[in-house]
Amino acid sequence: MALCDGIGCDGYVWRYLRRSLAPRRVLHAHYRGHGRSQAPRDPARVTIGDLADDLAAVLDDSGTARAILIGHSMGVQVALETWRRHRARVAGLVLVCGAASHPLRTFRGVRTLEDLLPTVERVLLRAPRLVNRLTRALLPTRLALAIAGRVEINRELVQPDDFRPYLEGLARMDVAVFLAILAAAGQHSSESWLADIDVPVLVVAGGRDGFTPPARSREMAASIPGAVFLEVLDGSHTAPIERPAEIDRAITSFIAEIQ
């Protein structure tokens, strides 16, 4: 198995799944500019295709011929792109709380983020050092956690210690790298070749996911031949740490059937 994170993430969402997957071998690499990985030498080399090629290189380095790719959020796009570019290396796909294309167009049900992103980039990149200092000071705080609870995560289900590593990891990211990858994810689409996917696929959606609404996941599953679909009705974009037992059971059962 290989785990594919969302943007700004370095593994927090897999906390429970990794335990459920043991003792299976699991690969987990950090994207460029994420976690323990350095920022790219070429700032433009942060497309979804670049991240997919990096994953193939990780498979090479680990001596893994084929793997089941498990993606969350933007990791869904990375997993799909890896299948397109390196399909002989992919044994199956688990696509969790993500979209097959242009995720910014349906963020919170509208395309405002996509429309505003160029302006946001221009403003924030005028003083990137200042922005980085502010995010590093403000993101890993109780206030940021409280805001996340009002905006997206299901606070009744999420333990603060499970979500705090996301805020801490995001705070460490360089704003220029984050915005470049966000723009690349917003432009990426795999819709034209979903019908060609010929490996087993499980699609998982959060019923109250505001970042990638569940309709996007249902559409993606309907476009992939034979895809299995699961909707966690009270799950948000962080459903894997909100309803871990339900999601982990579905993923491990899916893996057992195809291995």
At residue 155 the predicted structure's pLDDT band, cuts being 50, 70 and 90, is confident
pLDDT at 211: 92
State the pLDDT at residue 143: 62
What are the pLDDT digits (tens) for 229-249?
Answer: 999 999 999 999 999 999 999
Least confidently predicted of 12-21, 95-104, 122-131, 149-158: 149-158
| pLDDT tens digit sequence for 50-84 | 999 999 999 999 999 999 999 999 999 999 999 99
Of 60, 94, 61, the residue nearest 76 (C-alpha):
94
Centre a 10 Å sphere on the Cβ of residue 9 and count the other Cβ atoms it contains.
24
pLDDT tens digits, one per residue of 78-93: 999 999 999 999 999 9
Whole-number pLDDT of residue 152: 80
Mean pLDDT for 38-42 is 90
Domains of the chain, first to last: 2-258 (3.40.50.1820)
Burial (Cβ within 10 Å: 0-12, 13-18, ≥19) of residue 251 = buried
**Residue 139 confidence (pLDDT):** 77
Q: Is the pLDDT of residue 169 over 80?
A: yes
pLDDT at residue number 244: 96
pLDDT at 193 over 90: yes
Beta carbons of 77 and 98 less than 8 angstroms apart: yes
